[in-house]
Structure formats: C-alpha cells, structure tokens
Amino acid sequence: MEAPLKVYKGLEGIYVLESALSLLDTENGKLYYVGYDVEELVAKSSYEEVSYLLLKGKLPTKAELEAFVEKLKGEMQLDEKELETVRLVSKRSSGMDALAAYFVLTGRGLVDDGSPMDQAIRAIGKAGSVLGNVIRIDGGEDAMYPDPSLGVAGNLIYLVTSRKPEPYQIEFLDDILILHAEHGVPASTFGAVVAASTLSDVYSSIVTGIMTLKGPLHGGASEAAYQQFVEIGDPNRVEAWLEKALSERRRVMGFGHRVYKIYDPRAKIVKAMAARAAAIAGGRVKALYEVASRLEEVALTKLAPKGLFPNLDFWTPMVYTAVGIPPNYFTAVFAVSRIVGWVAHVLEYWKDNRLIRPLHLYVGPPAGQKYVPIEERH
C-alpha cells in the first residue's frame, strides 16, 4: 500500500538546499559563518570583512580586504539622482517598504551593470546609505550625502543622527550587522532564493527578502519586543503583565525560535551588548534594559521548559536605541545587514540552479463541478 501523501507545513525539518555559508549548531548553541565562530567574528572582525567572507567563501588577505572596502565605499555613495529617488520613495512609503521600493525603482536600470557579484556588492553598499536617508526624511530632515569613510555601520548612524558617531556606537552597530548577516534559510532567505531560482535578478531577490523579513514572526520581532517593553513600562509590572499575556495566549516577542530550542547564540552576545549599552547610554536604554532583564528572568521560568528562550530580537532594541535608530526602523536595519546573506545564498544557488516548484495537495471539491449560469445560482 502506498504511504499517504504528507504536507510539510512550514517546511519544518525539511532540507531545501545545500549551503556552505552558515552552520547553526543547535545542540551546543553556536553559529558559524563559513566555519568561523560568529562570536569570534564579532570580537575581531568587521561587517565589511564578514561580507567578503560570505560572498567569496574565505577570509580576505589585507590587500583583498582593502580592495573590497574601496569598491564598497564607491557603492555607498549616492549621487543627486539617487538622492532624488530616495526622496521619492520616502514620500510614498517608509521603513522596509521604502527600502524595497528603492531597489524596485533602481534595480531595472542596474541589472545589466556588472556581474551578479558586482551587483551584490552594490546592493550591500547602497542599502545603508538609502536607509539612513529614508530615516532622515521620515524624521523631517532632507536627504544628505553619505560618508563612506565611516564604514557601513558608522555611515548609517551618521545619516540618521547628522553627527559623527561615537566609536562605541559604531562598534555596537557593526557587531549587530555581523550578527544579522546570515542565518541559513529563514523565510526571507528562502524567499530570496525562490525568486532567484526563476532566474530573476539580484535586486528582485533582495526585494523579496525585504518583504518576507518584515513580519513580526521573523525580522519584525525586534520592533514588537520594543513595544512590549514599552507596554510593560516598569520591571515591577513584569509578573502581572506576563501572567495576563500568557493567559491570553499572547506570545512573548523575542522569545522562541523555529530552529534553536536552547538559548540563541546571537542573543547571548547581544544580551551582553545591551547591558553595556544600558551602562553607557543610561536613560531610556537603561529603562528598557531593566524591563527586558526582568522579563527574561520571569519568562524563562515559564517558557524554558517548553524550549523557548530569548532570540536575538529580544535584546537588540536596547542596542538600536543606544545608536539612535528609531524603533519603527529596527527591522529595516536588520534588512540592510541581511542583504549580504540573501545575495550570498543567491550567488551560491545559481552555481547549480534548479527552479523551486513544490507541490500542493489538493483538498477542494471533486473535479467536474457543474458550471451553473449566474442567473440560476442561489
């Protein structure tokens, strides 16, 4: 007898591709990019170097990194025409939508410009400069020219705050960008690869990735976690808030992960950063951190036995706030960072492309329904 057909809802536990980009060690709570422990990369590397690692599959020599950074700096520039496009997309939309709209509007003109690798590097360079300006415009400022000499992280903070960032702010955002750069095939990367498998172009894959990252079950969780800390407001209110939330079957945002059933290795690193950010920045960051710390403590007693632990989105709100990113833009910063993961997967997938076309199990009415003219239907 034939086995009944099975639908793998959410593709849980299904391998959909081979990749040499990241290893999620879900037993020991470790994450590796191309074999390198992400904790070591955060401590010793930069977002630029990690981008090279993911795109080229090896760490660069000094000369290779210098050449790569020079190329990236060139792409981080926005000329007057590009700034005009940023103003246009910012007028009609904001956040992730504006970032995606920029790539929709400019992508067509760029698909024939350079190899897919060139286009990937261009997208990584442009993204932070575009988003920084989108945030400026949303805050009532005019667009301005980027400062690529500050690097991807520093330039983004500079555009958002109109000030040369403090070294600790650059370090924080650079670390956050490294931690968000790649993570196997979550929904957004899978979306990007599905688009690429049709032999669409690099920019179309990025747009698909951005729009798929947006939801609160994926990248949007950091914004939702921030709102949750604000809603709680005070560490003394955590117990009552949690009891009510769980009784209403609400989810603790920033808790749980489809793949990690132990503490997310990225969250461990961001937790330490959030503590440092609270100590350095004080004020609002400290207040948020105190609520988050208490919530973690209380929520773990209820959720850890179910394999639910903080993910990185639980702790990033404090770090984003310390570097000046407004809460409604947390997810868009995640997108800027993850572009490298998306394009690295796309380039890898194209080495042996196969159109992604799964099947659906039909459960509708039997075939052969009689078409009744509209006048005779009731």
Q: Which of 107, 132, 219, 324 binds ligand CMC (CB under 6 A)?
A: 219
Site string for ligand CMC, 42-61 (x = CB under 6 A): --------------------
CA 308 to chain centre: 21
Give the footprint of ligand CMC on residues 286-305 (CB under 6 A): 303
Q: In what order do the strands lie in the sheet with 22-25?
A: 22-25, 30-33, 36-37
Does 257 participate in catalysis according to the annotation? yes
Give the footprint of ligand CMC on residues 249-268 (CB under 6 A): 251-258
Give the footprint of ligand CMC on residues 170-189 (CB under 6 A): 186
DSSP helix/strand/coil, 25: strand
> Which amino acid type is present at position 244?
K
Give the footprint of ligand CMC on residues 313-352 (CB under 6 A): 313
Spatial distance between the Cα atoms of 323 and 8, rounded to a whole number of angstroms:
41
Number of residues that bind ligand CMC (CB under 6 A): 18
Report in angstroms how near the CB of residue 329 gets to ligand CMC at its nearest: 16
CA-wise closest residue to 192 among 177, 209, 176, 178: 209
> Position of tokens 């039909």?
362
Which CB atom, from 165 or from 220, has the smaller least distance to ligand CMC?
220
- The pair of structure tokens assigned to 130 is 């575009």
Instruction: Give 100's contacts (C-beta < 8 A, 6+ positions apart).
Output: 206, 207, 210, 211
Which CB atom, from 26 or from 85, has the smaller least distance to ligand CMC?
26
Give the footprint of ligand CMC on residues 59-118 (CB under 6 A): none
Q: Is 217 in the site for ligand CMC (CB under 6 A)?
A: yes
CA 13 to chain centre: 22
Spatial distance between the Cα atoms of 34 and 38, rounded to a whole number of angstroms:
10
Spatial distance between the Cα atoms of 78 and 101, rounded to a whole number of angstroms:
16
| Annotated active-site residue in 175, 201, 264, 313 | 313
| Annotated active-site residue in 201, 257, 264, 345 | 257
Report in angstroms how near the CB of residue 298 gets to ligand CMC at its nearest: 12
Q: Which residues are catalytic?
A: 257, 313
Q: Which residues bind ligand CMC (CB under 6 A)?
A: 186, 217-219, 221, 251-258, 303, 306, 308, 311, 313
